[in-house]
Amino acid sequence: MIGRLRGAVDAIEDGKCLIDVSGVGYVVFCSNRTLGELPNPPAIATLLIETQVREDAISLYGFASSAERDWFRLLTTVQGVGAKVALGLLSALSPDQLIAAIAAQDKAALTRAPGVGPKLAIRILTELREKAGAMPGGGGTRLAAAPAPQGAMADALSALTNLGYRRAEAEAALGRALEEHGTDATLDVLIRAGLRALAK
């Protein structure tokens, strides 16, 4: 099994690249995120590789980071998520954004990826809900180390959780409210915007 490739970037195409390693050209399928990080041909690049062997093909999937590779492995454990859909999800959402979307049960975020409809999005959210927090790219200790909400944000978070929303959902919704209205937003504005985000 191939776990890593280091060689000259021969070509970058839609959804894949060609890496020349000592005269052998390897076709490697990648997310748009990883392809965007590759240097222009013929520069040298290193990709982490996930090898999939089937009866009719051996396919190589390349990643710029171990976090993206780990998410690819996890996503493909979900029924209905093949390698192509997993790469589509990783093109649409970074590991950080995947963690946030799963924590907030944000179906709309997942359906932005090609090949992910509402039913598959719900399956991904359900099956990965308990696993996402331990994944690299923003989960685990990094989430625990995040500063506690202050002022109106803390009050709005308290109000939404008292209404029955899960803390992770409420935090994600209020994060979007802050992006939309700025850090000077009043408590009333934050609660209303948070509720709108949660309603979606």
Cis preceding-peptide flag for 147 (omega within 30 of 0): no
**pLDDT top residue among 144 and 150:** 150
For residue 108 the two structure tokens come to 């709309």
Per-residue pLDDT band for 137 (boundaries 50, 70, 90) equals: low
Task: Please check whether residue 74 is in contact with residue 128, taking contact to mean a CB–CB distance below 8 angstroms.
Answer: yes
* Alpha-carbon Rg for the chain in angstroms: 20
User: What is the model's pLDDT at position 83?
Assistant: 96
Residue 61: CA count within 13 A, CB half-sphere: 25
Task: Please check whether residue 93 is in contact with residue 109, taking contact to mean a CB–CB distance below 8 angstroms.
Answer: yes
Residues 155-161: what's their mean pLDDT?
85
Per-residue pLDDT band for 194 (boundaries 50, 70, 90) equals: confident
Q: Name the phi and psi angles at 159, rounded to 5.
A: -65, -45
Rounded-to-integer distance, Cα 167 and Cα 157, Å? 7
Rounded-to-integer distance, Cα 105 and Cα 8, Å? 41
Q: Name the phi and psi angles at 175, rounded to 5.
A: -60, -40
pLDDT exceeds 60 at position 148: no
User: What is the model's pLDDT at position 139?
Assistant: 38
Q: Name the phi and psi angles at 40, rounded to 5.
A: -70, 145
At 164-177, the pLDDT tens digits run 887 777 877 887 88
User: What is the model's pLDDT at position 129?
Assistant: 86
Mean pLDDT estimate for the chain:
87
Domains of the chain (ranges; CATH) run 4-63 (2.40.50.140), 66-143 (1.10.150.20), 147-199 (1.10.8)
Q: Of the given ranges (21-25, 79-83, 137-141, 185-189), which has the lowest mean pLDDT? A: 137-141
Task: Please check whether residue 68 is in contact with residue 95, taking contact to mean a CB–CB distance below 8 angstroms.
Answer: yes
At 24-48, the pLDDT tens digits run 999 999 999 999 999 999 999 999 9
Q: Which residues pair with 62 in a beta bridge?
A: 30, 49
User: What is the model's pLDDT at position 80?
Assistant: 94
DSSP calls for 116-138: --HHHHHHHHHHHTTTGGGSTTT
User: What is the model's pLDDT at position 149?
Assistant: 54
The dihedral through the CA atoms of 71, 79, 110, 12 has a sign that is positive
Residues 138-151: what's their mean pLDDT?
42
pLDDT exceeds 50 at position 143: no
Buried b (16+ CB within 10 A) or exposed e, 76-97: bebeebeeebbbbbbbbbbbeb
pLDDT exceeds 70 at position 141: no
User: What is the model's pLDDT at position 163?
Assistant: 86
At 51-97, the pLDDT tens digits run 999 889 999 999 999 999 999 999 999 999 999 999 999 999 988 88
Query: Among candidates 45, 99, 51, which has minimal Cα distance to 73?
Result: 51
